[in-house]
């Protein structure tokens, strides 16, 4: 059976995304109909596109061939992909496109609701996460509003909309919700934030921050973690761009609590005040934990989400993961549980320099570079970063 050649095209008002085993067709505005067809079939089946449909007009230029020294060929289809998405965006009214663009996930639901209830654009412009929650209300509340009620809610104060979605119906809560970075949100994260805001004291702690993203939500969503977080640490995490899409500090603190319990290590009685303090303790505990325990599971991890190439090899079991941490003198050996959960995947980089790479799935389902470090957590060179990003770009939707 022959499959499709992967690629992106915009033909007769529709975005076409070809994968080896299927093609996805997304009709532009105002039709907004999604369908897919198997390589072996002739029938189109309705589907909900998972893609980030509305992207910036000026994507990053393709990586020069000279920056790909580890065998990752430049993606010849990159320009065609950018043109196809730009053509799809051109079908969308400019105001709607600007409102939807910052979101990485669930754009399909946002676009369709903006088409059917145009007042959504105003909410997305002032309190993005509230408009997002309304677009995915069927996954947040037991009895989601129908279209008639949605249109009514969008004409009422945002506190009324928040209350309908199970969020605090106060002006203070709306101000906090307005700080949430739309790039980080997905239904699960909105649900975590909603549960956190229902607990005493969380709203006040968030009220002092300039922004709220994945890193902040990861800390406040877990009561046990938040109890060990000083205000200075929470503010530092909020200011860290690397925590925008992935709650790295929350994950690290959770590993600290788990390893401390396993090692019977007594943690400080006071909250942690800085990322550096957490990092030092984490690395010390990870070294002890790896030395004192056997792998909890000899089985291989699941298949890597992005196939390796020469110079970038997936690490596919816990023994190899621990060996990578030992050889590189860092704590990646403690990431096994995160890999098993599907939160991250780790790769061994051998060219143009030795490094360890972890990738994490974003709200749009795309796997992105999360951490890329040399031995002893040193920073790697620009050529290595460029080569890894070029390799990943070939697997972006």
134 plus 39 within the same structural domain: no
* Nearest CA among 351, 356, 389 for reference residue 375: 356
CA 374, CA 178: separation in Å to the nearest integer?
A: 38
Q: Which domain holds residue 249?
A: 208-293
282 plus 357 within the same structural domain: no
117 plus 23 within the same structural domain: no
**203 in a domain, yes or no?**
no
366 plus 322 within the same structural domain: yes
263 plus 176 within the same structural domain: no
With bands split at pLDDT 50, 70 and 90, how would you rate the model's confidence at 238? very high
**97 in a domain, yes or no?**
no
pLDDT at 377: 81
* Nearest CA among 280, 269, 172 for reference residue 227: 269
Helix or strand (DSSP H, E) at 393: helix 382-393
Residues 353/374, Cβ–Cβ less than 8 Å = yes
State pLDDT tens for residues 42-81: 899 999 998 899 998 754 444 444 344 444 444 456 788 8
**362 in a domain, yes or no?**
yes
Quote the number of domains for the chain.
Answer: 4
**353 in a domain, yes or no?**
yes
**200 in a domain, yes or no?**
no
79 plus 4 within the same structural domain: yes
184 plus 225 within the same structural domain: no
Helix or strand (DSSP H, E) at 367: strand 367-373
Does residue 267 register a pLDDT over 90?
yes
**373 in a domain, yes or no?**
yes
State pLDDT tens for residues 319-338: 899 889 888 888 888 888 88
List Cα–Cα distances, 182 to 186, 245, 313, 317, 395, in angstroms. 9, 10, 33, 35, 23
**161 in a domain, yes or no?**
yes
302 plus 394 within the same structural domain: yes
8 plus 78 within the same structural domain: yes
Average pLDDT over residues 149-174: 96
State pLDDT tens for residues 72-121: 444 456 788 889 999 999 999 999 999 999 999 999 999 999 999 999 99
Which of 152, 169, 195 finishes a domain?
195
């Amino acid at each position: 059976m022959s499959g499709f050649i992967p690629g992106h095209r915009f033909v007769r008002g529709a975005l076409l995304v070809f994968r080896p085993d299927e093609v996805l067709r997304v009709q532009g505005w105002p039709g907004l109909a999604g369908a897919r067809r198997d390589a072996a079939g002739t029938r189109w089946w309705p589907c909900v596109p998972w893609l980030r449909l509305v992207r910036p007009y000026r994507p990053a230029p393709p990586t020069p061939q000279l920056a790909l020294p580890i065998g990752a060929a430049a993606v010849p289809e990159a320009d065609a992909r950018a043109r196809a998405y730009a053509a799809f965006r051109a079908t969308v009214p400019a105001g709607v496109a600007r409102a939807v663009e910052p979101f990485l996930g669930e754009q399909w639901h946002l676009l369709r609701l903006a088409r059917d209830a145009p007042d959504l654009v105003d909410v997305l412009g002032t309190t993005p996460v509230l408009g997002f929650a309304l677009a995915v209300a069927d996954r947040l509340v037991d009895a989601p509003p129908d279209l008639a009620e949605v249109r009514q809610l969008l004409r009422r104060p945002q506190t009324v909309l928040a209350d309908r979605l199970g969020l605090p119906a106060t002006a203070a809560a709306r101000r906090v919700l307005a700080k949430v970075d739309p790039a980080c949100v997905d239904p699960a994260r909105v649900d975590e934030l909603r549960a956190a805001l229902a607990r005493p004291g969380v709203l006040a702690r968030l009220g002092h921050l300039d922004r709220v993203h994945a890193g902040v939500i990861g800390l406040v969503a877990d009561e046990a973690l938040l109890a060990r977080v000083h205000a200075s640490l929470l503010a530092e995490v909020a200011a860290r761009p690397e925590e925008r899409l992935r709650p790295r500090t929350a994950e690290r603190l959770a590993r600290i609590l788990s390893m401390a319990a396993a090692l019977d290590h007594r943690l400080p009685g006071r909250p942690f005040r800085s990322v550096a303090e957490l990092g030092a303790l984490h690395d010390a505990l990870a070294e002890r934990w790896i030395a004192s325990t056997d792998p909890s599971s000899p089985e291989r991890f699941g298949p890597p989400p992005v196939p390796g190439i020469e110079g970038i090899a997936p690490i596919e079991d816990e023994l190899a993961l621990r060996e990578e941490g030992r050889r590189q003198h860092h704590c990646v050996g403690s990431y096994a549980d995160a890999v098993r959960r599907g939160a991250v995947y780790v790769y061994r980089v051998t060219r143009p320099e030795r490094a360890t790479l972890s990738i994490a799935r974003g709200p749009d389902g795309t796997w992105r570079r999360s951490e890329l470090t040399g031995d002893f957590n040193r920073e790697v060179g620009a050529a290595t970063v460029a080569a890894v990003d070029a390799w990943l770009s070939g697997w972006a939707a």
